Chain A
Amino acid sequence: MTGGSVPTVDEIVKAGTPVPDRRRKPRLTKRAAPYGLAFPAMFWLGFFFLIPIIWMFVVSLNSGTLETGFRFSWNWANYTNGLTIFKTQYLRALLYAGVGTFGALVIAYPIAYWIAFYGGKRKSTYLFLILLPFFVSFIIRTIQWQFILADNGIVLGTLKSLHLLPQSFHILSTQWAVMGGLMYNFLPFTALPLYVALERIEPSLLEAGKDLYANKVTTFLKVVWPLSLPGVFAAFLLTFIPMMGDFVNAELLGGPSNRMIGNIIVTQFQNTYYPQMSALSFVLMAGLLIAAVLYAKFLGTEDVFEAAGRG
């Protein structure tokens, strides 16, 4: 056979295969691009977020005062003393954050459910209304609660004048005010990850449940709830530990007997007892680290990013 004959199968395949193009090969600049793009941000996060936390751990093992200078001395007493002296405040923070998180989850879940499945075209508008409080400083909002819940304010004053409540009744300066404030302030943070998880569930799965003669409750318990659990965990992560570290609600809405560990950390800060402050604060960070590593390992970081991006 000479040239000009019918091409063989091999030749056809070869012709169909794209010729390796030099220009398309990732060049060095292109491969280096992501590192260049990420570098400034990673430098900033490293220098102003990660290193400070590591340094705080070092300071938490220091002894001394601001005047005499701090010395590194493996002073674990900051932890043992901190956890024994302020045990009540840690436990109180656990309790308040637990109740606050639970309350926020219970209130937010039906909301997220309704927007995700019944929101239709207006989904983003409904979600936006839930985020409306973010447009007002949370300090101002908490002070407004102080005002709304005042002993003779618009709510309690009215109820008292109608003799529906005894004159001595009060909410401010009780643990209920603090838990309520925590729940209020973190509610949108709870709703967002729940919505992200619920919105991803195919409505056809609910149809399938119906077709199989499951009633609404069974469909919810067997289909929706298990599929929404990642959102519940994300909401927990974004709510519980930040709530534990909060001090504003206890300060503005609570009384002297409602002080949480956050208030103690602030007091230590104001007295410049930095090693003790660092130890108390690092305990919270350790709690977050454990929760975050577990969460990221099992569920990945995507859902939290999606929720945060909508905030």
Chain B
Amino acid sequence: MSKGAAREHVASQKWTRFILPVYYWLVVAYLCSPIVVMIAFGFNNVPGRVNAKWYGLTLNWYRDLFSSPGLTRALLTTLLLATMATVISTVIGAFLGLAMGRHRFVGAALVGFVMFLAISSPEIVDGSSQLVWYVRLSKVSIGPIHPFALGFPTILWSHVMFCIAFVAITVRARVAGLDGSLEEAAQDLFATPVKTFTKVTLPLIMPGVMAGALLAFALSIDDFVISSFVRGHTVTFPIWVYGSAKVGIPPQVNVMGTLLFVGGLSAAAVSAVLPKFSQWRAGKRLERERLERATAAAAG
């Protein structure tokens, strides 16, 4: 290879190495373009209900965020639903994640396959099958309560169902990366299984549990397809938005979407930083103790 050709080769590499990064940022822009439009049109000074053209900046829709009672009720329903679904599915799913990550047991492969199906099955299949199942169970009652009558409870049961699988996987990933000897040490020191769990296992898997809970919350807030089948007459936020899409969605929807977006990002940021922060704090404490001991030794 002549010197000139070699230099040309380097030059062409220099040029081509920008292709992929530029492409990456273009795709990120493409993925985010609807989000940008959503945020921008939450500030649109639109005179009527149909938010389709830019009229100028306003903060009116932030001020009148709750002026549409139906929309407000739908948002509150969704937040309540997501909170309950997150709490239930995080507890149940974390236990399953622990079982899958820590223990070998007969039927583990079957459990894995069921979770695999739960993750990959089309939502429309989940929705329609759970609908006919709830219709079958609609007569079941515990005292005056009909737990499977279509409505808020049935949406909750279904949301818990699909959240469990995602929480379990997130927790399992965390458990698999842990050193089991810490728990054995606790047991060797005669800690009861309950104590071992609360004092050793739980703090160790907490970052995984938090990540799973966040994921569950996000999935529940966003769910439209399954809810639309099993909701009865209950209206959630995505259901309300979809229903009003035909007549044009009011700017308050953009504002609520923006606030949920910002809230979700903040939660993700906190959950990413928190373990590092507590690690940093623990490191500081250790350092201080060491320093104190050294000082004490020097003084003594």
A residues bordering B, Cβ < 8 Å? 23, 29, 33-35, 37-38, 40-42, 44-46, 48-53, 55-56, 59, 107, 110-111, 113-115, 118, 126, 128-130, 132-148, 150, 153-154, 184, 187-188, 237-238, 241-242, 244-248, 252, 262, 265-266, 269, 274, 277-278, 281-282, 284-285, 288-289, 292, 296, 301, 304-306, 308-309, 311
Contact = CB atoms under 8 A, between A and B. Distances in A.
Contacts of A51: 133
Contact of B123 (A245, A269, A292, A308): A245
A304 B115 CA distance: 10
Contacts of B275: none
Contact of B125 (A154, A284, A296, A311): A284
Contacts of B52: 147, 150, 153
A59 B158 contact: no
Contacts of A245: 122-125
A27 to B, nearest CB: 10
A274 B230 CA distance: 13
B240 to A, nearest CB: 9
Contacts of A46: 114
Contacts of B135: 274
Nearest to A300: B112
Interface residues of B, number: 89
B161 interface: yes
A56 B38 contact: no
Interface stretch (B28-36, B56-64, B287-295): B28-36
Interface in B32-49: 32-35, 37-38, 41
A146 B131 CA distance: 29
A309 B225 contact: no
A138 B37 contact: no
B120 A45 contact: no
B31 to A, nearest CB: 5
Interface in B1-59: 20-21, 23-24, 27-28, 30-35, 37-38, 41, 51-52
